[in-house]
Structure 1
Amino acid sequence: MQINGIHHVTAIAGPARRNLDFYSRVLGLRLVKKTVNFDDPTTWHLYFGDAGGNPGTILTFFPWEHVAPGRLGVGETEVTAFRIPAAAVGYWTHRLIANGVAHDAPQKRFGETVLSFRDPDGMRLALVGVPGSESEPAWDNGEVPPESAIRGFHGVTLLLDKTETTVAILRDVFGFVEAGLEGNTVRMRAEGTDHGGVVDLRAAGGFLPARMGAGSVHHVAFRAGDDAEQARMVKTLTETFGLRPTEQRDRNYFRSVYFREPGGVLFEIATDAPGFAIDEPAEDLGGALKLPARYEMRRAEIEAVLPALV
């Protein structure tokens, strides 16, 4: 059976130490993996998520110490949103104020209370109060009390010139259904999942194109239960939409295929297996630098050039 929804979101950040402090301390997420950018092993690749590192909760970063700021534009993920208990919106408003985090007043969108804010690199984030989510598990080994903690992704907002073809891909490839329209934003929802089940498509024809940099989302990954499901998705992309996804790439914790959807956003299809506990026990996730086998012989060299995290 197809497993719907977002698997992870990967973004670009500035200094790694600042990135780690914000997401682990201020937002209270668990650091579930410390590894390197497989294409640039002198750069960290940090993964944050829930206690188990489950799909639908994982936000990852490539932090470069001196990267220039990105520019928001069409063909990019505009907002990455987390789900929190509805009663926790007040707590988070006070927490953002206490930590000097720039934020907007809570607003209603699609009937939900949304608290928008930015991280130190200007990445656009939001907390969405979801009734009933207080019963979902959360990482509780930090400053944020478990009753108010982030429960995983709510979803993402994509800024596009036009939305029609992206809607079709979300529907025909990833199993989303149209769930609402508010102004120039169409909401797509993945049935059968709570975490990462929402993709909002905002039409902004004529807006400037995006420029990648600090604060930009690099790509959004969608879930595939296994290799066979991933292959079926690739076949649909090729035969129905005329797209040419990449070959499958082994990312140690999942297997990935990439393609750029017609609106310009880079999408990934990531398998749920094997997961983050493949190279360290679940209770120790994020405790040590983990390298792919091809880089182990260079461990001392890599450790010497990676920026300090503490």
Structure 2
Amino acid sequence: MTTGIHHVTGITRRVQANVDFYAGFLGLRLVKRTGGFEDAEQLHLFYGDALASPGSLVTFLVWEDGAPGRVGHGQVSEIALAVPPDSIGTWLVRAMTAHVPVEGPTREFGETVLRLKDPDGVTVKLVGIDLPAAAPLPDPLAPTRLRSVTLMTEKLADSAAFLGQFGYRPGTVEGAVRRMVSDTDVIDIRDGSGFFAGIPGTGILDHVALRAVDADAVRRMRLALKDTDVTSVHDRKYFLSLYVRDPASILLEYATDGPGFTLDEAPDQLGTTLFVPPQDAARAEDLRVLLPQFALPGEERSPMRDLHFVHRFHRPENPDGSTIVLLHGTGGNETDLMPLAHRLAPNATLLGVRGRSTEEGINRWFRRFDAVTYDQEDIRAEAEAFVAFIEDAVRSYGLDPARMTYLGYSNGANLIGAILQLHPQAIRSAILLRAVQALENPPEPAEGALAGHGVLMLNGARDMFGRMAPALEQALRRGGAELDSRTLAAGHELSPDDLTQAGAWLA
């Protein structure tokens, strides 16, 4: 039977740093970029050798600015890549020069090992061993293939026996680590008794996939595992696979070698096109706007600054110099409004921002006591912080304040409305979708404070909160804003008419 590791999948919170490390520092090839097959709104990146050979693949789901996880038992805890034996010294110098955290060299199971940390803190070992690449990379010192993964388990004997079903045989033992051997690589099983349990999140290795010779092998494995939590067989386009947890709850995948990653890209074009899963083809354009952008090593890139609000840019192919700043509704995030805004203005740069207040784990822009009673101090504090953030963003990214429009929905629109009253010079153009007056005692505007400010309010005729919208309209008019308020045949939810009306106003 075909044995060995097919790929290892981790989770990253910074796509550009991830690309810079795996494609830049390590020199692996980015061989595929897709929307995730379980969730197409997650970018999935695949790195490997020159032809994306099974056994060379390290993949990452991108949870941009996602919460960190914790390494512990019940997880894949380390990955190891084979490099030429005489290259370890050079890799040590490269790591120190690039300020990559590095330990070693040490000896493990008779092999020379360097331990690196990737930008998320994932342990990546470089093992000096002669394992030729199936499709060599341009750099002769580049990693050739996966040497091993380390599994952290509280049930060492049971985890080892479970791997036997996938063709792994018992090898040597070194301290608390038992080595399992296949025809092409090894899996190290570490006794994690006494360790904390792992917690999912960024900086975690989610699963390891083991190789199946063909689809029939996957189906036979599913039958053999019928008394476990094994999943049905999934078509991942580039391979067929199933998932199962071992007795220690470590997630394993069993994946076919074919049809392979050259199915939809020529070998010399691997990794250059963003693909979406076939079931999401109808919203492909929206996904291309939602998914985070990055630059490969050597490509022109835009810097990202560590500012006080989590934020994301979408930069169109032909930017016209305008920017739309997006403020999501309750429970949303910085990308929610990007597809809508892209349809409104295809050549505008989009700056999505995430609210800093949370309520039972969901994102908001300010605290509330109930559905229509808001924390007034928090509104004022967050409005002031947001204005400062925009000032920093304008300086940091070279944005043109005269060509910035603010688009908010629900809770995000409410904050924009409050900013217009509390800091009238901060925003000069705004589209407010289902906004209400969030301020209980709004300041009396100075005469002409909002003169020249263009504001579009789109209210819903069936919106349960609509009764609170007229107070905001009156406040904006008193300040001198050029207010265009329209009521749509909708509730609190967005409708196709919002796109039509906002597009016409923005044009």
Task: Please classify the TM superposition score into its range, dividing by the shorter chain length.
Answer: over 0.9
Quote the offset at 1:230 in angstroms.
1.4
Map of 1:215-294 to 2, 5 A cutoff? 215-238=203-226, 242-294=227-279
Map of 1:131-210 to 2, 5 A cutoff? 132-133=130-131, 137-140=135-138, 145-146=139-140, 148-171=141-164, 173-191=165-183, 193=184, 197-210=185-198
Letter in 1 for 2:253: E
Q: Quote the Cα distance in structure 1 between the aligned partners of 2:197 and 2:116.
A: 22
Q: Quote the Cα distance in structure 2 between the aligned partners of 1:297 and 1:72.
A: 37
Q: What TM-score do the two structures reach when normalised by structure 2?
A: 0.57
Report the CA distance shift for 1:136/1:112 in structure 2 as closer, same or farther (over 3 A): farther
Quote the offset at 1:138 in angstroms.
2.1
Quote the offset at 1:40 in angstroms.
2.0
List per-residue Cα deviations over 1:227-252 (Å, max 9, x = no partner): 111122223323xxx31310001111
* SS of match in other structure, 1:42: coil
Q: Quote the Cα distance in structure 2 between the aligned partners of 1:175 and 1:135.
A: 22
Quote the offset at 1:291 in angstroms.
1.8
1:121 corresponding residue in structure 2: 120
CA contact (8 A) 1:219 1:267 kept: yes
* SS of match in other structure, 1:105: strand
Letter in 1 for 2:83: I
Quote the offset at 1:55 in angstroms.
0.5
* SS of match in other structure, 2:93: helix
2:5 matches 1:9: no
List per-residue Cα deviations over 1:279-310 (Å, max 9, x = no partner): 11111100111122222221211111111112
Out of 253, 259, 280, the position equivalent to 1:295 is: 280
List per-residue Cα deviations over 1:183-226 (Å, max 9, x = no partner): 111000102x2xxx110001121211001111101111001010
Q: Quote the Cα distance in structure 2 between the aligned partners of 1:134 and 1:154.
A: 11
* SS of match in other structure, 1:125: strand
Report the CA distance shift for 1:267/1:135 in structure 2 as closer, same or farther (over 3 A): closer
CA contact (8 A) 2:170 2:179 kept: yes
1:22 corresponding residue in structure 2: 21
Question: Relative to structure 2, which stretch is displaced further, 287-296 or 201-210?
Answer: 287-296
2:99 corresponding residue in structure 1: 100
Quote the offset at 1:165 in angstroms.
1.2
* SS of match in other structure, 1:12: strand
Report the CA distance shift for 1:135/1:7 in structure 2 as closer, same or farther (over 3 A): closer
Letter in 2 for 1:288: T
Q: Quote the Cα distance in structure 2 between the aligned partners of 1:234 and 1:133.
A: 31
Q: Quote the Cα distance in structure 2 between the aligned partners of 1:292 and 1:205.
A: 40
The percentage of counterpart residues that share the same residue type is: 39
* SS of match in other structure, 2:104: coil
CA contact (8 A) 1:43 1:64 kept: yes
Letter in 2 for 1:56: G
2:40 corresponding residue in structure 1: 41
CA contact (8 A) 1:70 1:214 kept: yes
Which segments of 5 or more consecutive residues in structure 2 lack a partner in the other structure? 296-507
Quote the offset at 1:70 in angstroms.
1.5
Quote the offset at 1:151 in angstroms.
0.3
Q: Quote the Cα distance in structure 2 between the aligned partners of 1:219 and 1:45.
A: 14
CA RMSD of the aligned region, Å?
Answer: 1.3
* SS of match in other structure, 2:228: coil
Q: What TM-score do the two structures reach when normalised by structure 1?
A: 0.92
Q: Quote the Cα distance in structure 1 between the aligned partners of 2:222 and 2:177.
A: 27
* SS of match in other structure, 2:166: coil
Query: Number of residue pairs matched?
Result: 295
Which segments of 5 or more consecutive residues in structure 1 lack a partner in the other structure? none
Task: Tell me which structure has the larger Cα radius of gyration.
Answer: 2
1:56 corresponding residue in structure 2: 55
Quote the offset at 1:263 in angstroms.
1.0
Letter in 1 for 2:149: V
Quote the offset at 1:137 in angstroms.
4.1
1:305 corresponding residue in structure 2: 290
Q: Quote the Cα distance in structure 2 between the aligned partners of 1:300 and 1:162.
A: 46
CA contact (8 A) 2:23 2:47 kept: yes
